Amino acid sequence: MSDKSNRKTSITTRVAQALHFIESETGAVVPAIQPAATYARDDAYQIRKPYFYRRDGNQATVHAEAIIAELENATDSLLFASGMSACTAVIEHLPTGAHVVAPRVMYHGVLHQLQTYAANKRITLSYYTAGNIAELAESVASCKPTLVWVETPNNPNWEVTDIAAAAKIAHDAGAKLIADCTATPPNMTRALDLGADFSFHSATKYLNGHSDITAGVLSVRETGPFWDDIILIRKLQGTVLHSYDAWMLIRGMRTLFLRVEKCCKNAMAIAKHFDGHQHVEAVLYPGLPTDPGHEVAKRQTDGQYGGMMSIIVRGTEQTAIDVARFCEVFYPATSLGGVESLIEHRKTVSGEGFPVHPRLLRLSIGIEDADDLIYDLEQALARAVG
Ligand SMILES: *Cc1c(COP(=O)(O)O)cnc(C)c1O
């Protein structure tokens, strides 16, 4: 009989302890970084499993994948060198001519990638308005897709799409559903539990949380030949996450619950403060009870709503750019999900042709003191308005 209790610890405990990591030889409570690109065969000239060559994966990547699989309640998770390379693997695994239904407005990089594949006639693309389930159903009914793409909450307007409803629509039509929930990490939103076939996160964002690596992760409820294809694509394209970055990600994830809780609290305080503000036309944040996505978000994000929001300032496009320029605590930088708050004039970043409000500022709220962030936006707005 083991003298250990059988009590299963909570996910919060397991993530904080990186799955109670103890190195068997030394007792070290933190994994070592193994930078090797190749592994020697044994005396019988056999491969010493499980590692053979860097592109197949490595200790740190596999360990980080195990943590994410627990967070996602997934059968398997796979880490890529960036969010974009994970999304590309999903698109690549589709048969030529496959039909994909995606939001008309979404994270610009993924949309750009889908549109590039469509322009090259690799896939066909149809659209729906983010957050609009009726339009999603119509689009799916008219084109019989292979894959339905949902991003929720959705860049840069933070519309909320009901993942369970989208999964039912996709499955009834024989399609798979991928949910990009980068803005609400899996301690808030578990897309697989809600019916998605793939859960995707840019781990560059909240999962790592410190703006010091790029990484992407795909998780699945059920494996199968499609998943073997994706594993093969990662290997052949060489897009596995580097061991050093995987190690950074493991360290970042230890504080996931703490960081995200603070980001959400700060975001709610900021959204409430600027909702109805004289220099602000609109605050786009699902945490506000008046937000059209509020009720679905409450169910889908464990009542936490996330740290991402946008504000549409009054005045001109230049006023919005000036607010971003005049901030002294917020960094005028792209990306999201880090401990430091970022502000960005989204139109400048996503470029001409991408439909985004010219006076929209995207805010990624970090873990700083909420009053400092509110004061900073107040002074920048006052200066920009003049
Ligand atoms: C950042 C991001 C991506 C792309 O991930 P990278 O890690 O930057 O390659 C995809 N979707 C969303 C919603 C993102 O925020």
Question: Alpha-carbon distance 245 to 253, whole Å?
Answer: 12
Q: Establish if 1 belongs to a structural domain.
A: no
pLDDT at 2: 59
Q: Which helix (H) or strand (E) holds 269?
A: helix 256-274
* 270 and 147 in a common domain: no
Q: Establish if 6 belongs to a structural domain.
A: no
* Whether 180 is catalytic: yes
Nearest CA to ligand 1 atom 1: 202
pLDDT at 353: 77
Q: Establish if 3 belongs to a structural domain.
A: no
Distance between alpha carbon 179 and the CA centroid of its chain, in Å?
A: 9
* Whether 205 is catalytic: yes
Q: What is the DSSP string of 86-145?
A: HHHHHHHTSPTTEEEEEESSS-HHHHHHHHHHHHTTSEEEEEE-TT-HHHHHHHHHHH--
* 262 and 249 in a common domain: no
The CATH code of the domain that includes 365 is 3.90.1150.10
* Whether 128 is catalytic: no
* 225 and 188 in a common domain: yes
Domain housing 275: 257-385
- For residue 39, the CA-to-ligand 1 centroid distance in Å is 32
- Of the candidates 253, 286, 320, which is a domain's last residue? 253
Say which of 54, 107, 331, 347 is annotated catalytic: 107
- Of the candidates 195, 222, 253, which is a domain's last residue? 253
Q: Establish if 319 belongs to a structural domain.
A: yes
pLDDT at 4: 83
pLDDT at 49: 83
* 230 and 95 in a common domain: yes
Q: What is the pLDDT of residues 189-203, one digit of tens each?
A: 999 999 999 999 999
Which parts of the chain register pLDDT below 70?
Answer: 1-2
pLDDT at 212: 98
- Closest by Cα among 152, 187, 178, 182 to 71: 187
* Whether 76 is catalytic: no
* 23 and 38 in a common domain: yes
- Of the candidates 193, 228, 253, which is a domain's last residue? 253
Mutational test site, ligand 1, from 107, 208, 210, 218, max ligand atoms within 8 Å of CB: 107
Q: Establish if 31 belongs to a structural domain.
A: yes
* 248 and 323 in a common domain: no
Nearest CA to ligand 1 atom 6: 83
The CATH code of the domain that includes 21 is 3.40.640.10
Mutational test site, ligand 1, from 205, 208, 210, 346, max ligand atoms within 8 Å of CB: 205
Question: Alpha-carbon distance 300 to 35, whole Å?
Answer: 38
- For residue 218, the CA-to-ligand 1 centroid distance in Å is 12
Q: Establish if 215 belongs to a structural domain.
A: yes
User: How many structural domains compose the chain?
Assistant: 2
* 239 and 293 in a common domain: no
Backbone phi, then psi, for 147, in 5-degree steps?
-140, 135
* 186 and 269 in a common domain: no
* 39 and 115 in a common domain: yes
